[in-house]
A and B are shown apart, each in its own frame.
Chain A
Amino acid sequence: MKTMVEARNLRKSYKRADGSTIEAVKGVDLDIHQGEIFSLLGPNGAGKTTTISMISGLVAPTEGDATIGGHSITKQPMAAKRLMGFVPQEIALYPELSARQNLAFFGRMYGLGGKKLSRRVDELIEFVDLADRQNDRIDTFSGGMKRRVNLAAGLLNSPPLIYMDEPTVGIDPQSRRRILDTVKLLRDEQDMTVLYTTHLMEEAQELSDRVGIMDHGEIIAMGTQAELTQQVGEEDRLEITTGAQNVGEALTERMQQDIAGLTRVLYNPPEPIGENSGESTPARLTVFAKRGRTALPQIIQTLDAAGIDIQSVEVREPDLEAVFLALTGRALRD
């Protein structure tokens, strides 16, 4: 198996305005194999973008190095960069230029020109299905359309490797579906290597051949999905949304003692969504149990007795979310 990206001991610390330093990435090792989709899964602020920035030559690592197809990104940046495409987390396009002009401009920065450039731009516009809007300004596009152009701009040089940093942030489900399908298409039909970052467990689960779970600047687990879920054992996970009543620590401890097979009970109180939308996430109780379905009646009974409303119950097989929870004690979305 050929290694496309090999990173060793990547570290990045930033100086804060107050003079203190923050270690955004604390010694990351990565091996991304040719032809695979590798996901970096982690909550906001985990260090995913910083990691991608270092292995793309955008920021210099404080320590460590990475090779892209054998070329060191710090010592032979031009050779390394020629092998990669880049889809940033932001819509990195000029809003006052049309989709076509954006692609043509960035194409020139990859050394394309003339007929070759216009042919490649045609292909990509076709690929992201925007032929009818190609001459409209980017700032007239919907979020999903912008995301598609953003993605196309990362493919201009037909790279064997592409980095995609949360390419589905802020778009409608339909557009997200499209992008996820496109990512799989790139791997399956164009044999591209994809490094995909996300904070959404479902995306990582759907796309990845291998996953690295990232938290606080470190990769805390890495492997195929099967390998990872095995780490948390055979436990089921019960997701229970509850009413507004507070579930105290006393109650969760009592459940763990009284009900057979429960290994862990976590409570996430309601949290406001956004700044001032007035809405909040439902309160959520996560229960890990050896045999979830057997334990369920007793759990419901206990909650009922404590006067807690139960709004929904879901029993889930082991997944990446569970791995994250097990490793950090927090839900991914926190």
Chain B
Amino acid sequence: MRKILAITAKEIYTVFRDRNLILLMFATPLVLSTIIGLAFGGIGDSDVPDFAAIPVAVVNHDEGVDLQETVNLQGQFANLDALPFNLQDIGLPSELSGVGPNPLLQSGSELNFGDILAGILLSQPITGTATLGGAEIDVAQFECTLLGPPQEEGAASFAAEGSLDDLLDATAVQDAEQARAAVQSGEFAAAVIIPPGFSRRMIPQFAFDEGGRLYTQPADETGSVEVYANNGRPISSRILHSVVAGVINQFERVNVALSATLETSVNTLVDSLAVGDIDLSAVNLPATAAALQGLDATTLEPLGCLIAPGANNVTVAQQPLDALQEAPQFARIIVPIGAAQAVFFALFTGVFGMNSIYEERKYWTLQRLIVSPTPRSYLLAGKLVGNLAVVFLQILILQAALTLIASAVLGAPTFIWGTDIAALLAVTVALALCVSGLGVFVVGLAKTPEQVQLFGPMINISLAVLGGAFGFALPEQAARFSLIYWGVDAYVDLSLSQPDVSLNILVLFCQGLALFLLGTWLFKRRIDL
């Protein structure tokens, strides 16, 4: 173990003693990133949208749902016969137990989530109303109980500064295809496309189970809102994603509240009927209907959160938008560019670091190690761990240096990589494993060091082209083949305080592990260690 560490330490030390290598590993990517960053950060168009007005197309195909259908007990529930009492016994007319409209709710009680989302994006007043039990209730009258009192300072100031009206320049478009084409042509940074049946899928479906108890069927996840983005405008589409996700999140909260309230209320009602606490024959139906109306009104109260002034994008969207709007242009651009350059140059370290084994053999230092009483597997392990450590340190140091450069350019200390240090390190570890693993794999696969010198750079450059390290982006489907894409994507997410990079870490880690293991096997055979 001490011998392995000694080799690892030697690998790291020799790299950091080599002035030319330092220039290549650190100075070059930093200079490149800074130049590109300044160039793009200065112009501030297309690639880096001005956040004052992201052009967005909004397409709404949602027809909405009739709330009556949803809350309609008898029309919907096939298991109604399983109720612990007989409807006729309690005096209800027999036609109620079958199909047909339920008189409890009048038809026309409509809810359209698509309209609400489109309205939020377009910064239009929400006009949709839910008509319950014949009484018109304007959804806009609801208060957002989830947000707390609207007079709270945070909400008020947010409404003033962060309204979507400033952020988005949204246009309603009729046709989805037309909107996508306009995004491709660059007219819009992205399109938000609300599919037909969106509300229907969002609204939970109720049913009675075998025991006659009400439960909620899980909402259908498919067919949700599509954010169709222009690949050249990653930041714009990211913002839009978070806005839409924030709103949909609110819808879901509505649904959870709705189903919870309904389940408890209806089940209590049914229980009472069964036990006989309530004598239905003594109840007049209009009164029950009124009770249910009251129930529904409070149930729907969370809907108010969607339209409380300025709070359109509560929770999810609020934080990153704040952070984004404060982040200066240069800091935003240096993260993807600097990260891509860092990984790109680390790829060379990974492959040429391993290729140096041939140098060690040529100068007989490897042979000197082999004749020492050290098992060959230790020599192999030391070399591998050393390479991994060097790659890791390189990326880490480049990140630190990019932070310094950003701070210098902006004239104030600015940590550009977000606030989640643990996730940041996890991404870097996974990325280093992937980069170093690729190096081991390439050197193990190539027959000679000359082949490595030929194919190594070719592979690295291909990955950089795919992963968008050269300033132009390929379609995401292609970019996903590049570890650079996964790394840069994670770093950009983290810098925008979107901490969910677990997929990126997983992809990088698995890919890295596979390359490392396979590469080690090949390398061991190739070098006879």
Task: Say whether A108 contacts B6, CB under 8 Å.
Answer: yes
Residue in A closest to B378 when the chains form the complex, CB atoms: A109
Q: Is the CB of A97 within 8 A of B14?
A: yes
Interface centre among B14, B372, B373, B375 (most CB of A within 10 A): B372
Contact A94 B364 (CB under 8 A): no
Quick one: closest B residue to A97, CB to CB? B14
- Cβ-defined contact, B370 with A97, below 8 A: no
The answer on a CB contact under 8 Å between A109 and B367 is no
- Find chain A residues with CB under 8 A from B2 CB: 108, 113
CB-based contact B373/A81 at 8 Å: yes
What number of residue pairs across chains A and B have CB atoms under 8 A from each other?
63
Q: How far is the CA of A88 from the CA of B18 in the complex (A)?
A: 25
Whether, in the assembled complex, B454 has its beta carbon less than 8 Å from a beta carbon of chain A, the answer is: no
- Say whether, besides A92-B363, A94-B365, A108-B2, A58 and B371 are in contact (CB < 8 Å): yes
Complex interface residues of chain B between 269 and 296 (CB less than 8 A to chain A): none
Chain A 87-111 near chain B by CB (<8 Å), digits 1 or 0: 0111111111100010001101111
Known: A97-B17, A105-B6, A108-B6. A57 touches B371 (CB 8 A): yes
Distance of A254 from chain B, by nearest CB (Å)? 50
Report the minimal beta-carbon distance from A5 to chain B, rounded to whole angstroms.
14
Q: Are A58 and B14 in contact (CB under 8 A)?
A: no
The interface residues of chain B lying within 8 Å CB-to-CB of A56 are 371
* Shortest Cβ gap from A156 to chain B (Å): 9
Interface of A is mostly: loop
Q: Which residue of B lies closest to A163 (CB)?
A: B371
User: What range describes how many residues of B lie at the interface?
Assistant: 20 to 34
> Residue of A at shortest CB range from B10?
A105
Bound form: Cα–Cα A18–B161 in Å: 76
A58 near B373: Cβ-Cβ < 8 Å: no
Indicate if the CB atoms of A92 and B368 lie closer than 8 Å.
yes
Q: Is the CB of A81 within 8 A of B363?
A: no
Main secondary structure of the interface of B (DSSP, over half): helix
Q: Is A196 an interface residue when CB atoms closer than 8 A count as contact?
A: no
**Chain A contacts of B363 at CB under 8 A?**
90-93, 95
Mark out the residues of chain B between 328 and 371 whose CB falls within 8 Å of any chain A CB in the assembled complex: 363-365, 367-371
Does B374 touch A at the CB level, under 8 Å?
yes
Min CB–CB distance B278 → chain A (angstroms): 86
Q: Given A81-B372, A94-B10, A108-B2, do A88 and B17 touch, yes or no (CB 8 Å)?
A: no
Residue A86, interface by CB 8 Å: yes
Whether B526 sits at the interface, judged by CB under 8 Å, is no
Q: Is there a chain B Cβ closer than 8 Å to A82's Cβ?
A: yes
Q: Does A195 contact B (CB under 8 A)?
A: no
Note all chain B residues with C-beta closer than 8 A to A326.
Answer: none
B525 interface contact, C-beta 8 A: no
Among B14, B364, B367, B371, max chain A CB count under 10 A is at B371
Contacts A109-B3, A109-B372 given; 5 further ones with Cβ under 8 A?
A78-B373, A96-B14, A105-B10, A108-B6, A110-B373
Q: List 27 A-B contacts (CB under 8 A).
A: A56-B371, A58-B367, A58-B371, A81-B371, A81-B372, A84-B371, A86-B368, A86-B371, A88-B364, A89-B364, A90-B364, A92-B367, A92-B368, A93-B365, A94-B14, A95-B363, A96-B14, A97-B17, A106-B372, A108-B3, A108-B6, A109-B6, A109-B369, A109-B372, A110-B372, A111-B3, A153-B368
